[in-house]
Amino acid sequence: MKFSPSRLWAIVVKEFVQMRRDRLTLGMMAGIPVLQLLLFGYAINANPKHLPTAVLMADNGPQGRTLLYALENSSYFDFVRRVKTEPEGRRLLARGDVQFVVNIPENFTRDFLRGDRPAILVEADATDPVATVNALAALNAAVNGALKNDLKGPLAFLSGTAPPVELQIHALYNPEDITAYNIVPGLMGTILTMTMIAITGLAITRERESGTMENLLSMPTRPLEVMIGKIVPYILVGYMQMALILLTARLLFRVPMAGSIALLMAVTFVFIVANLAMGITFSTLATTQRQAMQMSMFFFLPNILLSGFMFPFRGMPVWAQDIGEFLPLTHFLRIIRGILLKGNGFTDVVRELWQIALFAIVAIALSVKSFRRTLD
């Protein structure tokens, strides 16, 4: 029996009608990406100010006060507590009462006037780096700006090359720092992976559990027809999601789109197919819908952790990078960040694209191979 395009089309039509009729799932397919993007995006894009700060002031001179005044003026820091000792400051940080402890050491004014470049120590609770990253950037500017005014007259010699004070920042608990522009494109790939795998993960097991598989198998058909027929309608869903995500990213988060959106859309096709094929492979391997869901979850985990979505890819140990290189999401993240943020063109993305394509082909072959044509 040869591969028949008309039988393939029969399955496409059937799946499409069933998909259209399943309003709940379809609604979720549209709702999940927007919701996730809003939740993630706003948490990230928020530029929190007036962060509670404790001060350890061991210096009595005017420069110390100037400094504090400048920090408060930057509107990122609210001095809510005065502490006497360093451990006291640490405790406040640990309890989450303050986000920062600014430590101006003894003899700060004296050392400053001598040109000894005294150190200011800022300890930050960086559990959520997004919360501190902007404040820390502002800190640097505020410190230098404030003291510059004092470097006149006899102190003019200090305004040379090196900054007049040494700013020591200790980011505690989480030294990572993730930016919003990095994560929103990353989310596009992650959301597509999650929804595409979940939806086709059920495609075959649902037929098995409802008993319709017996009917389908009693008709003359080839596994490849069934696989492709079940994938095609969801490519549309994938594009619907992509469009929603891009729109949200652009309108709400002002994610820059430096490269060609048409190119991105074209490349996404391969990525969507790869994930749908992976899902359908799970579906053929599993015997129940529950098993298929568990497999999808199991696959989703390394995608989140090792693709460069959560942690910078280059920061991972080599073995983790090796695993990451197998995942379509890893390559897609490079592609989408490349296109949106760096304005990459086709020749730049091909390097990553063929690896996604290879994954898709292997996944489809695997699903066809493991598709059981009988009930035993």
Interface with other proteins (CB under 8 A), residue from 155, 167, 169, 217: 217
Closest CA to 104 of 175, 171, 172, 165: 165
Interface with other proteins (CB under 8 A), residue from 219, 251, 262, 318: 219
- Nearest-approach distance from CB 373 to other proteins, in angstroms: 8
Instruction: Examine residue 86 and tell whether it contacts other proteins (CB under 8 A).
Output: no
Pairing of strands 100-104, 166-172: unpaired
For the chain, the residue count is: 376
Residues of span 9-38 touching other proteins by CB under 8 A: 9-10, 13-14, 17-18, 21-22
- Nearest-approach distance from CB 230 to other proteins, in angstroms: 13
Closest CA to 173 of 103, 79, 93: 93
Structure tokens at 21: 């009729």
Please, which residue, 219 or 251, has the CB nearer to other proteins?
219
Residues near other proteins (CB under 8 A), total = 25
Please, which residue, 113 or 217, has the CB nearer to other proteins?
217
Closest CA to 276 of 296, 305, 290: 296
List of E strands, the chain:
51-57, 77-82, 100-104, 119-125, 166-172
CA distance 360 to 376: 28
Task: Give me the helix-helix angle, 328-337 and 261-285, nearest 10°.
Answer: 170
Please, which residue, 13 or 35, has the CB nearer to other proteins?
13
Name the amino acid, one letter, at 34. V
Instruction: Examine residue 287 and tell whether it contacts other proteins (CB under 8 A).
Output: no
- Selected range binding other proteins among 97-105, 159-167, 215-223, 264-272, rule: CB under 8 A: 215-223
Interface with other proteins (CB under 8 A), residue from 103, 190, 221, 268: 221
Please, which residue, 18 or 294, has the CB nearer to other proteins?
18
Q: In sequence order, which residues have a C-beta less than 8 Å from that of residue 153 and are 6 or more positions away?
A: none
- Nearest-approach distance from CB 1 to other proteins, in angstroms: 5
Instruction: Examine residue 284 and tell whether it contacts other proteins (CB under 8 A).
Output: no
Question: Helix, strand or coil for residue 147?
Answer: helix
Residues that bind other proteins (CB under 8 A): 1, 4, 6-7, 9-10, 13-14, 17-18, 21-22, 210-212, 214-215, 217-221, 374-376
